[in-house]
Amino acid sequence: MHVHILGICGTFMGSLALLARELGHQVSGSDAGVYPPMSTQLAAHGIELREGYDPAHLQPEPDLVIIGNALSRGNPAVEYVLDRGLRYTSGPQWLSEQLLQKRWVLAAAGTHGKTTTSSLLAWLLEANGYQPGFLIGGVPDNFGRSAQLGSSDFFVIEADEYDSAFFDKRSKFVHYRPRTAILNNLEFDHADIFPDLEAIQRQFHHLVRTIPATGQIILPAGDAALEGVLAMGCWSDRVTTSVGGEGDWTAELLSADGSEFRLRHRGADCGVVRWRHTGRHNVANALSAIAAAHHVGVPPADAVAACADFAGVKRRMSLVGEVNGIVVYDDFAHHPTAIDTTLQGLRHQAGDARIVAVIEPRSNTMRMGVHRQRLAPATAAADQVIWYQPPGLDWSLDDVIAASPVPARLAHDIDALVAALAAELQGGERVVIMSNGGFGGIHDKLMAALRQRWSA
């Protein structure tokens, strides 16, 4: 079967393309924005990519068109599909029908940490011989790809609450019907489709309604928003996690940066996790993943051992490179809480070293200015912040800079930003670049400028 995917370079749709290819389908796709790591991953697997949404990309006509949720009526490819009466579906629906039926689905949902948690969970299962399938909105470094079919009944999925398609406004995760469900946390986000937190809670409860009584819901103890979801009705076993508090699964930090912690299950000592990751948020992610792996049979001690070999996820505090002692990281932070926790984790790791944050507020919610009052306080752990005002941001960042607890400035041009930053940085400093997009290739540009400066 020839499957054409509209919006193929999105993290979810690109992963879907890999699964369709692994099932033996001919796969092609179109997208308006084609950039790594997804574009290179798809090309490496023989998937044909086409720039833009020209209806000619749908000729000869494919057997099925999978339409991403970024596309809407008026898009020329969408209009062609409808006019020609081509067979079409949403990505979550295709996944449910083709892959998830009769499998033990382990889903990681929540506002933050879905990608890291699902990646770690897939690794915990893989390292312990479970041979899981998975679909993750990022590229786990342990696997080098964002999706695989697996050869067992277990399938790990990053469960996003965003809508499924222009013709299906349900959250993606209602299609997945998990037996093990991680609810990491819940805050207001996706203001382009949800009017308030209560609307998101209702979607989360739709997910809860699909979990069988023999299933399990894993959530942090004391999360008021998630407790509000479960108060609407819960029919499954509840398991709680806590970093430094009370819960079924708890972590006692043995190092301030979170790189070492003691794991306990209902009071019993399960060993000490020593890994390369930092931040209290990542410890919380680990607790959720370990609890979910335990639900399918992974002993806690074996999960502790596997954590040591977890390599992380591309674009989640990924090391871009180091020049003359200047260390550059790339991070996907798309929300004030993510910015805050990432910088706090880096601060604990870096100690007194100077931290410079370069931030592009690019997500739909950011563009709407919903979180503008929370942005400045979120950067308190940095020593300096450079805010980039991207095209299409309809409000000024001046007020964010004025309210900044640390020195901050505004940039409108990426090349000028890179030139100025490369000239200022000194050995021993840390730079973390934060954006949920390609950010104009700033990572490679900065590394090139630093090399040029220090080789001169």
Judged by average pLDDT, the poorest of 144-158, 242-256, 261-275, 362-376 is: 362-376
Is the C-alpha dihedral spanning 379, 385, 391, 396 positive or negative? positive
Residue 312 in any domain: the answer is: no
CATH (domain of 38) = 3.40.50.720
Listed residues 58, 90, 122: the one ending a domain: 90
Three-state SS across 370-427?
CCHHHHCHHHCCCCEEEEECCCCCCCCCHHHHHCCCCCEEEECCHHHHHHHHHHHCCC
pLDDT score for 436: 78
385-395 residue pLDDT tens: 999 988 777 77
Residue 432 in any domain: the answer is: yes
Average pLDDT of the chain, as a whole number: 90
Q: How many CB atoms lie within 10 A of CB 96?
A: 18
116-133 residue pLDDT tens: 999 999 999 999 999 999
Inter-axis angle of helices 280-295 and 114-127, nearest 10: 50
Helix (H, G, I), strand (E, B) or coil at 81: helix
Strands 318-323 and 326-331: antiparallel
Together in a domain, 281 and 252: yes
Band the pLDDT of 146: cuts 50, 70, 90: confident
Together in a domain, 293 and 334: no
CATH (domain of 152) = 3.40.1190.10
Query: Cα–Cα distance between 28 and 20 in angstroms, integer?
Result: 10
Residue 313 in any domain: the answer is: no
Residue 96 in any domain: the answer is: no
Residue 97 in any domain: the answer is: no
pLDDT score for 314: 76
Phi, psi of 74 (to 5 degrees): 100, -25
What is 146-188 written as a DSSP string? SEE--SSSEEEEE---SEEETTEEEEGGGGT--SEEEE-----
Judged by average pLDDT, the poorest of 28-37, 54-63, 346-355 is: 28-37
52-109 residue pLDDT tens: 999 999 999 999 999 999 999 999 999 999 999 999 999 999 999 999 998 999 999 9
Together in a domain, 144 and 119: yes
294 or 413: which leads in pLDDT:
294
Query: Cα–Cα distance between 202 and 171 in angstroms, integer?
Result: 10
CATH (domain of 424) = 3.90.190.20
pLDDT score for 400: 87
Together in a domain, 350 and 437: yes
In the chain, the number of structural domains is 3
Together in a domain, 187 and 298: yes
Strands 133-135 and 147-148: antiparallel
Residue 49 in any domain: the answer is: yes
pLDDT score for 35: 67
pLDDT score for 174: 95
Query: Cα–Cα distance between 145 and 163 in angstroms, integer?
Result: 24
Together in a domain, 287 and 224: yes
Maximum pairwise Cα distance, the chain: 66
On the question of pLDDT at 440 being above 90, the answer is no
Together in a domain, 247 and 182: yes
Taking phi first (over 0 means left), then psi (-120 to 50 degrees means alpha), and beta for anything else, what does residue 147 get? beta
CA atoms within 13 A on the CB side of 269: 4
Please identify which residue in the block is written with the tokens 């370069």.
358
pLDDT score for 241: 97
Together in a domain, 74 and 111: no
Together in a domain, 60 and 191: no
Classify burial at 114, counting beta carbons within 10 Å of its beta carbon; exposed 0-12, middle 13-18, buried 19 or more.
Answer: buried
Listed residues 307, 335, 354: the one ending a domain: 307
Listed residues 61, 90, 119: the one ending a domain: 90
The boundaries of the domain holding residue 41 are 2-90
Together in a domain, 6 and 57: yes
* pLDDT mean over 215-236: 96
Residue 284 in any domain: the answer is: yes
pLDDT score for 419: 92
Together in a domain, 127 and 275: yes
405-435 residue pLDDT tens: 999 999 989 999 999 999 999 989 999 998 8
Together in a domain, 249 and 118: yes
Residue 95 in any domain: the answer is: no
For residue 246, give both structure tokens. 């009370």
pLDDT score for 205: 97
Query: Cα–Cα distance between 280 and 233 in angstroms, integer?
Result: 30
Query: Cα–Cα distance between 195 and 192 in angstroms, integer?
Result: 8
Which DSSP symbol is given to 140?
Answer: B
Query: Cα–Cα distance between 42 and 121 in angstroms, integer?
Result: 23
Query: Cα–Cα distance between 151 and 13 in angstroms, integer?
Result: 22
